[in-house]
C-alpha cells in the first residue's frame, strides 16, 4: 500500500513537471512573447529591451527554462496585472483558494448527499415513478448549461423571491465584521463563535453550490443507480441471501459497498468538471474564487495569474485522482493487496 | 417422515411481451434426513430454478411459484419472508456453482464466515472468529488464521469452494443444497470437494440435494436420483437401479455421454444429440421427442405421466417407450424399433 502511494506521488511530480514545461513553451509562444504581453502594444523599443532583460529573455533558452523552474519552485510567478493588479500572482491564488474549496465542497456535498441515496432508492424501485422522475431530472441536470442554471437560480431564489443572497461570499452589512482565521468563511464563523457570520457565509454558498453541483449530482445519481442494479444481481448477493442475513446487512455490507466502487471513480472525475464549472458559476454569482479569477485573468491577459491557475488546477486534478485511487484501494482489497 | 417434501413444484417466468415460460413443471420429490438426493440433467432443464425456488431465492418479481415445499412439516413457500430468512443459513443452506462470483470480493473470508455465525448462532465477534477458524480447518483449508484475513481473490478455486462450504455448514443445517458445486473446478479438485461434501453430510447427518449434470458425481454420492428434463422429472430411482437399469432414453443418453476410462483412445463421447432449444412443450407431447431415438406416434400427441417403471422397485419413469435391456420381456432395446405396447405396459 505504501509503495503504491509513493509510486502515485512520483507520478504526480512527473505530471507537474511535464505541465510546467508545456506552460513554459506556451508563455514563450504568446503573441510577441511574454515581454510584449506584459509590456503591452504601446511599448517603446527601449522599454522592450529593458523588459526582455528583466525577464531574462536575452539569455539562452535552457537558462531561461531553469530560471523559470526556479521561480515555479519558489512560487514566484510575478505580479498580477489584471485580477488584483500589483499583488503577487501566488498571493492572488492563495487568498482565493479557500473560497473555491468551500464552493467545491458545497457542490460535492450537494451532489453526493443527494445523488447516492436517490440513486440507491431509484435502483431499489427500478421502473417505478420515483425511478423515472430521478432519471428525467438527472437528464435535465446534465443537459442544462451551468451558466444558465446559475442565472436561473439566481433570478428565482435571489432576485425574485429574495430568499438567498445573489452574490459574493458574505454580506458586507453584518452586525460586526467577521473575523478571518482560515479563509474558509463558514469554518471561521464556527471557530470564532460568530454564528451569524458563519450562517451568512453558508447562505451565500447555497445557490452557487447547487448550480455547480447539479451536473455531478446527475452523474452520481445515474452511476449509483446503475451500479446498485448491477450489484443486486451479483451472485454474492444471492449467497448473502442464502445465508439468511438480514436485509440491513445485505444492503449495507454486500450491496452498497460494492456499488460504491464505480461511484468513487466517477465522483473523482467530476472534480475536473467542477473546475470548469466554477469559472461560470463564480462569474454569475460574483463569487470571489479562483473561477472568477480565471475568467478575469483571461479577459485582461493576466498571464502571471493564469500560470498559477493552470498549474494549480493540474495539481488538483492529479491529487484528486490520487485520492480517488486511494479510496478505491480502501474499498477494494483486490487493488490493495496486489 | 421425510425432512423435505417437494410437491408439485412449479415455477413460471413471466416477462412482459413474452409467453410465460414454465421452467419447473410439477416437480415432486422427497429427501429423508441424512439422505443424498441427486437432481440431474443438462443445462437449462430447471435444476437451479428448482433449488432457488426451494430456498425462495428467486427474484421477487417476474415469476410465479406454485406447489408445496414442506420442510419438517412447514410449508416454506407460505412462510413469511422474515421467518424464511431466519431459516436460511440455519436450517437449510446452499452452495453455488461459481465460487469466485459467489463470494463477496471486497469482504474478508473471515467476515463472510462469521456473519452467518453472528446472525444465526448469536455469537460474539471473538467466539465467531474462533468458530470460523475451526470451520475452515474442518473443510480442509490450511493455515486458517491467515485465510480468515484474506479476500476471495487471494484463494485458489478449490479453496474458495471450501470456504463457501464452510459458510454453508457453519450452523449445522439439516439440509444442504449444492448446485453444481464442482463444475467450475479442475478435475482433481472436483474429486476432493465431492469427498469433502460426502464426509461432511455423513458426519453431521445432513441431508443433501446434489445438483449436477454429471452422472459421475451422482454415482459417487447420491442415494436417490431424479433425472430432470424440460422442467419435469423424467426418471427417478435409487442410484443402484439407475445405473443398473436406466430406462428413459434421455438417461441413456446422459450415461452414454460419461467419459469412460476404458474407452478406446480417440473414441468420441456421445452427448445426447440436439439441445434443450429443440424442446416442445409438455402440454400434449413428450418434450424430449425431437431428440429421442425411441420416439413413437403417441409421443407427439400425448404427454407421458410419471409412473412406475417396468423394471425395478420404486423406479419411476415418464416415457411411452422406455429403453429396456435384451430379454427384459417388455420390449426391445433402445434404438429404432418402436414398441407400441410399452406405454400401456406401464
Ligand atoms: N430469471 C429468469 N427469467 C426467465 N427465465 C429463466 C430465469 N431463470 C432461469 N430461466 C430459464 O429457466 C430454465 C431453467 O434454468 P436453470 O437455471 O434452472 O437451468 P439449470 O438446469 O440449472 O442449468 P445449468 O446447468 O445451466 O445451471 C432455463 O431455460 C432458463 O433460461
Ligand atoms: S419414447 Fe416417447 S415418451 Fe419416451 S422419451 Fe422418447 S419421445 Fe419421450
Ligand atoms: Mg444451474
Please compute the mean of the pLDDT values over residues A256-264 and round it to a whole number: 90
**Among A191, A188, A170, which residue's Cα sits nearest to residue A180?**
A188
What structural domains and CATH numbers belong to chain A?
2-73 (no CATH), 93-337 (1.10.3720.10)
- pLDDT category at B267 given cuts 50, 70, 90 is low
Q: Specify the 3-state DSSP secondary structure of B255.
A: helix
Burial class (CB in 10 A: 0-12, 13-18, 19+), A7: exposed
The whole-number average pLDDT for the span B115-136 is 91
**pLDDT value at A44 more than 50:** yes
Query: Are the C-beta atoms of residues A73 and A65 closer than 8 Å to each other?
Result: no
Which of B55, B89, B103 faces A236 most closely, judged by CB atoms?
Answer: B103
What pLDDT does B74 receive? 92
For A84, A204, A238, A311, B43, the CA distances from A287, given in Å and listed in that order, are: 15, 9, 50, 21, 64
Residues of chain B with C-beta less than 8 angstroms from the C-beta of A334:
105-106, 151, 153
B212 membership: H or E segment, kind and range = strand B207-212
Q: Which residues contact B21 (CB under 8 A, 6 or more apart)?
A: B12, B13, B14, B15
Q: What mean pLDDT value characterizes chain A?
A: 84
Which pLDDT band holds residue A36 (cuts at 50, 70, 90)? low
Sequential DSSP letters for B1-45: --SEEEEEEEEEE--TTS--EEEEEEEEEEE-TT-EEEEE--TTS
pLDDT beyond 60 at A183: yes
The total number of residues shown for chain B amounts to 346
pLDDT higher than threshold 90 for residue A110: yes
Q: What is the pLDDT of residue B84?
A: 94
Domain(s) labelled CATH 3.40.50.300 in chain B stretch across 1-91+174-241
CB B222 within 8 A of CB B38: yes
Q: Which pLDDT belongs to residue B259?
A: 64
Of B101, B120, B164, the CB nearest to A244: B120
B249 CA: nearest ligand 2 atom: 5
- Cα separation, B18 vs A178, in Å, equals 68
The verdict on the CB of residue B249 being under 6 Å from ligand 2 is yes
For residue A297, name the pLDDT band (cuts at 50, 70, 90): confident
| A47-51, A184-188, A191-195, B187-191, range with greatest mean pLDDT | B187-191
Query: Helices in chain B by DSSP H: which ranges?
Result: 47-55, 81-87, 99-102, 109-120, 125-138, 144-149, 157-169, 187-204, 215-221, 239-244, 249-256, 341-345
For chain A, the distance separating the N- and C-terminal CA atoms, rounded to the nearest angstrom, is 9
The minimal CB distance from A334 to the residues B86, B105, B115 is found for B105
Residue of A128, A232, A233, A244 for testing the chain B interface, max B β-carbons within 10 Å: A244
Q: Is the pLDDT of residue B332 over 50?
A: no
Q: What is the CATH number of domain B1-91+174-241?
A: 3.40.50.300
Say yes or no: B304 contacts chain A, CB-CB below 8 A. Answer: no
Q: Tell me the pLDDT tens digit for each residue of A243-254.
A: 999 999 999 999
Q: Answer yes or no: are the C-beta atoms of A108 and A217 closer than 8 Å.
A: no
Span A178-182, mean pLDDT? 77
DSSP of A251-293, one letter per residue? IIIIIIHHHHHHHHHHHHHHHHHHHHHHHHHHHHTT--SHHHH
Listed in sequence order, the residues at least 6 apart from A103 whose beta carbon sits closer than 8 Å to its beta carbon are A205, A208, A209, A212, A278, A281, A282, A287, A289, A291
Per residue in A98-108, pLDDT tens? 889 999 999 99
Centre of ligand 2 to C-alpha A238, Å, is 37
Least Cα distance to B227 among B240, B211, B244, B208 occurs for B211
Rounded average pLDDT over A127-137: 84
pLDDT band, very low/low/confident/very high, at A276 (cuts 50, 70, 90): confident
Tell me the average pLDDT across A37-47. Answer: 68
The angle formed by the CA atoms of residues B114, B117 and B123, to the nearest 5 degrees, is: 100
Q: What is the pLDDT of residue B90?
A: 93
Ligand 2 centroid to residue B14 C-alpha, Å = 28
Please tell me which of B216-220, B278-282, B319-323 the model is most confident about, judged by mean pLDDT.
B319-323
Tally of CA atoms within 13 A in the half-sphere of A274 that contains its CB: 31
User: Residue B250 and residue A236: Cα distance in Å, rounded?
Assistant: 34
Q: Which three cell numbers stand for residue B26?
A: 410439477
Residue A143's pLDDT band, with cuts at 50, 70 and 90, is confident
Instruction: Indicate the range of B85-99, B123-137, B266-280 predicted with least confidence.
Output: B266-280
Asked if the Cβ–Cβ distance from B107 to A257 is below 8 Å, we say: yes
Residue B270 has pLDDT above 60, yes or no: no
- Model confidence at B345, pLDDT cuts 50, 70, 90, reads very low
**What would the pLDDT profile of B3-48 be if each residue is shown by its tens digit?**
999 999 999 998 888 888 889 999 999 999 999 999 999 888 999 9
CA distance B252 to A260: 50
Higher pLDDT, A302 or B91: B91
**ipTM of predicted assembly, 2 dp:** 0.86
pLDDT digits (tens, 9 = 90+) for A65-93: 888 788 878 888 888 888 888 888 888 88
Rounded mean pLDDT, A145-160: 83
The proportion of chain B whose per-residue pLDDT surpasses 90, expressed as a percent, equals: 52
**A252–chain B Cβ distance below 8 A for any pair:** no
What ligand 2 atom has the least distance to the C-alpha of B293?
Answer: 6
CB contact under 8 Å between A244 and B57, yes or no, is no
Average pLDDT value over all residues in chain B:
86
Q: Of B240, B169, B244, B235, which is closest to residue B199 (Cα–Cα)?
A: B169
Residues of A in contact with B108 (CB under 8 A): 333
Residue B269 has pLDDT above 80, yes or no: no
Average pLDDT (A294-308) is 85
- Does position B99 have pLDDT exceeding 70, yes or no? yes
Q: Give the count of alpha carbons within 13 A of B227, CB side only.
A: 28
Distance from Cα B36 to the centre of ligand 2, integer Å: 28
Higher local confidence (pLDDT), B268 or A135? A135
Q: Are A49 and A36 within 8 A, CB to CB?
A: no
DSSP line for A119-156: HHHHHHTTTSHHHHHHHHHHHHHHHS-HHHHHHHHIII
CA distance B102 to B116: 15
| Residue B88: pLDDT over 70 | yes
Amino acid at each position: 500500500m505504501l509503495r503504491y502511494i509513493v509510486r502515485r506521488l512520483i507520478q504526480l511530480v512527473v505530471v507537474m513537471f511535464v505541465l510546467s514545461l508545456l506552460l513554459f513553451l506556451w508563455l514563450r509562444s504568446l503573441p510577441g512573447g511574454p515581454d510584449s504581453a506584459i509590456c503591452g502594444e504601446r511599448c517603446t523599443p527601449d522599454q522592450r529591451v529593458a523588459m526582455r532583460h528583466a525577464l531574462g529573455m536575452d539569455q539562452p533558452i535552457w537558462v531561461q527554462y531553469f530560471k523559470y523552474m526556479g521561480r515555479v519552485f519558489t512560487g514566484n510567478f510575478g505580479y498580477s496585472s489584471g485580477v488584483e493588479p500589483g499583488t503577487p500572482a501566488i498571493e492572488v491564488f492563495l487568498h482565493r483558494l479557500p473560497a473555491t474549496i468551500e464552493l467545491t465542497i458545497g457542490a460535492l456535498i450537494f451532489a453526493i448527499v443527494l445523488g447516492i441515496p436517490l440513486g440507491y432508492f431509484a435502483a431499489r424501485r427500478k421502473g417505478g415513478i420515483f425511478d423515472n422522475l430521478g432519471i428525467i431530472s438527472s437528464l435535465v441536470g446534465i443537459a442544462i448549461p451551468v451558466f444558465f442554471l446559475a442565472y436561473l437560480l439566481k433570478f428565482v431564489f435571489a432576485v425574485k423571491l429574495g430568499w438567498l443572497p445573489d452574490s459574493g461570499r458574505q454580506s458586507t452589512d453584518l452586525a460586526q465584521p467577521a473575523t478571518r482565521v482560515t479563509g474558509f468563511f463558514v469554518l471561521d464563523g464556527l471557530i470564532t463563535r460568530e454564528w451569524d457570520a458563519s450562517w451568512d457565509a453558508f447562505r451565500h454558498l447555497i445557490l452557487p453550490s447547487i448550480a455547480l453541483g447539479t451536473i455531478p449530482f446527475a452523474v452520481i445519481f445515474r452511476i449509483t443507480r446503475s451500479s446498485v442494479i448491477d450489484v443486486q444481481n451479483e451472485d454474492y448477493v444471492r449467497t448473502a441471501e442464502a445465508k439468511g442475513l438480514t436485509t440491513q446487512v445485505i444492503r449495507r455490507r454486500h450491496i452498497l459497498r460494492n456499488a460504491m466502487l464505480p461511484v468513487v471513480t466517477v465522483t473523482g472525475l467530476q472534480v475536473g468538471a467542477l473546475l470548469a464549472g466554477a469559472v461560470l458559476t463564480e462569474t454569475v454569482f460574483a463569487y470571489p474564487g479562483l473561477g472568477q479569477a480565471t475568467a478575469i485573468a483571461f479577459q485582461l491577459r493576466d498571464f502571471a495569474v493564469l500560470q498559477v491557475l493552470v498549474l494549480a488546477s493540474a495539481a488538483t486534478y492529479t491529487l484528486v485522482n490520487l485520492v480517488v485511487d486511494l479510496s478505491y484501494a480502501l474499498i477494494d482489497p483486490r487493488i490493495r493487496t496486489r | 417422515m421425510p425432512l423435505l417434501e417437494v410437491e408439485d413444484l412449479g415455477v413460471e417466468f413471466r416477462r412482459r411481451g413474452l409467453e410465460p415460460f414454465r421452467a419447473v413443471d410439477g416437480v415432486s420429490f422427497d429427501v429423508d434426513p441424512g439422505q443424498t438426493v441427486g437432481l440431474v440433467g443438462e443445462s437449462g432443464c430447471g435444476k437451479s430454478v428448482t433449488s432457488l425456488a426451494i430456498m425462495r431465492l428467486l427474484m421477487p418479481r417476474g415469476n410465479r411459484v406454485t406447489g408445496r415445499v414442506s420442510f419438517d412439516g412447514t410449508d416454506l413457500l407460505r412462510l413469511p419472508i422474515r421467518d424464511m430468512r431466519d431459516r436460511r443459513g440455519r436450517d437449510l443452506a446452499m452452495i453455488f456453482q461459481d465460487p469466485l462470483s459467489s463470494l463477496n470480493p471486497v469482504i474478508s473470508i473471515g467476515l463472510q464466515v462469521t456473519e452467518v455465525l453472528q446472525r444465526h448462532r448469536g455469537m460474539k465477534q471473538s467466539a465467531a472468529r474462533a468458530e470460523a477458524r475451526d470451520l475452515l480447518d474442518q473443510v480442509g483449508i490450511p493455515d486458517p488464521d491467515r485465510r480468515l484475513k484474506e479476500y476471495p481473490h487471494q484463494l485458489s478455486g478449490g479453496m474458495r469452494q471450501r470456504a463457501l462450504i464452510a459458510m454453508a455448514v457453519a450452523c449445522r443445517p439439516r439440509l444442504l443444497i449444492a448446485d453444481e458445486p464442482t463444475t467450475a473446478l479442475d478435475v482433481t479438485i472436483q474429486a476432493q470437494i465431492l469427498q469433502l461434501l460426502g464426509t461432511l453430510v455423513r458426519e453431521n447427518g445432513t441431508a443433501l440435494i446434489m445438483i449436477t449434470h454429471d452422472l459421475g458425481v451422482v454415482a459417487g454420492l447420491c442415494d436417490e436420483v431424479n433425472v430432470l428434463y424440460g422442467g419435469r422429472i423424467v426418471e427417478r430411482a435409487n442410484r443402484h437401479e439407475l445405473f443398473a437399469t436406466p430406462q428413459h432414453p434421455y438417461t441413456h443418453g446422459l450415461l452414454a455421454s460419461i467419459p469412460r476410462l476404458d474407452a478406446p483412445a480417440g473414441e468420441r463421447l456421445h452427448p445426447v444429440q440436439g439441445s434443450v432449444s429443440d424442446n416442445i412443450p409438455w402440454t400434449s407431447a413428450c418434450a424430449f421427442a425431437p431428440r429421442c431415438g425411441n420416439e413413437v406416434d403417441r409421443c407427439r400427441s400425448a404427454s407421458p405421466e410419471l409412473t412406475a417403471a417396468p423394471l425395478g422397485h420404486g423406479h419411476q419413469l415418464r416415457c411411452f417407450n422406455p429403453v429396456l435391456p435384451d430379454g427384459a420381456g417388455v420390449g426391445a432395446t433402445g434404438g429404432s424399433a418402436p414398441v407400441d405396447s410399452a406405454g400401456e405396459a406401464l
